[in-house]
Each structure stands twice: as C-alpha cells, then as structure tokens.
Structure 1
Amino acid sequence: MKHTDFYALHKKLDEQARNELVAAIKAHGGEYIFIHENEDGDYNNEEKNNAPIIAASTRYMDGYEDFYVVRVAIEDDWLQIYGFPKDDWYAEAELTSVAHGHLEYIIDMIPETENVQDVTIASKS
C-alpha cells in the first residue's frame, strides 16, 4: 500500500539532530565528556549513572544495544560518539550507528554554556 516515506523523514530528522549535536559539542570546545576516568583508568560511577543511554552499535555488531555515552567529540570535522554497553563494563568503543531519534538524548544531557544556550536549527521544509 502506498504511504509516506517515513525512512526519508527519519533520515532528515537524524541529520538535523546530528547538526545540533555538533553545535552543542562545539560550544564546549569540540568535546564533551560525560563519564571521566580516574588515574587508575576506572570510570566515575556517579557520572555513569547520569550519562545518556542510547541504542547504538559499533562497526563489529549486527544490531543495536543500549550504550552509556562516555564522550562526544568533533575529530577531523567528523562527529565521534564513544561509549560502552550498559550490560558490560569495559573500555569505551566508537559508536558507528545510532538508532533513529537517539541523538537527542545526548543533546538533552549537554549543559548550556555562557555563550550558547540553544542549538536549535530551523527546519527546512
């Protein structure tokens, strides 16, 4: 049956969220860390409990699972998202695919700066 191309709409929304996330990261100097490591290489438990959780995957995974987002950065003009699985506790990995609508969870958890309080980009119809 004919219907709206929802996949195209999701892709458009994901691109807008990606652009707004990049703006939020740039407002913090190009990187925002949600979960810091101490000198022993252990992650801060309190920060872990307050970090965003998104459905994502690494390049080696067949499907999505829940990840704590450790940090986000702009590296070589490219958005990089790093995290570790919610059910496991090991070193961070680069997240190469994020479920539709989950980038906003990251933006929600990045605080305003003195100079940037809003990263909304007007949608082009």
Structure 2
Amino acid sequence: MNIPQIRRIVTVVAIVGVAACSDARLKKLSVGIEQDSVAAVMGSEPHRTESYQTEGKFWEVMLYARGDEAPEDSVTWRKLSPVVMADGKLVGWGWDYWQKEAETLNIPVPPAK
C-alpha cells in the first residue's frame, strides 16, 4: 500500500467512526421549533444545560447524552450533543454549529479533544 491509499482508508474509518457516534434523534430536529417539541423529539431531559444572555437574546444550550450512551455524572462536554435555543426557538444543534455560534457570541466552548 502506498501513502495516499493509507490516508484514504484512515479518512473513511474516521468518517464511519464519527457517523457511528452520531445521535439519530438530531436528524429529526427542525430549526424554529419550540422547546417542548425539542423535548418530545429528544425523548429525555438534557444531561446538562448552559444559559447565556447576550446580543439581546436568551441562549440556552441543552447538552444531551448521545442515544447510544448512558448518561453519567462524569460525561465530558464533547461526548454530549448540544441543542441550541435562542429566545425559546431551536436555532441549531451539533458541535459544528455551536462552536461557530459561540465564537461569534464570545462564549467559551470546551476545546475538541
């Protein structure tokens, strides 16, 4: 095997690994729905909730244990799935979304590990 082939294999394995860790419930969410609808889709209480008041909006980040993991007290931030509300409406979810939004709002987010 040559280096480019090895890189392709590693990339495919990484993508499959990330997909396996994803939470299928997130695919059922829609921007603009209210918090009670988010709760119905997610089917459980968030493991942790963070609230912020900035840019004239009330931001709430609900961090859910992924569907394939049992929530524990010591779950690290990055093993949770963020679901982001602004003024009671869903505006986005997932670390890619929250990392970018938090950066524009100057809200510190734990680094990816």
For normalisation by structure 2, the TM-score amounts to 0.31
Quick check: which one's helix share is greater?
2
Tell me which of the two structures has the higher relative contact order, counting C-alpha pairs closer than 8 angstroms and 6 or more residues apart: 1
For normalisation by structure 1, the TM-score amounts to 0.29
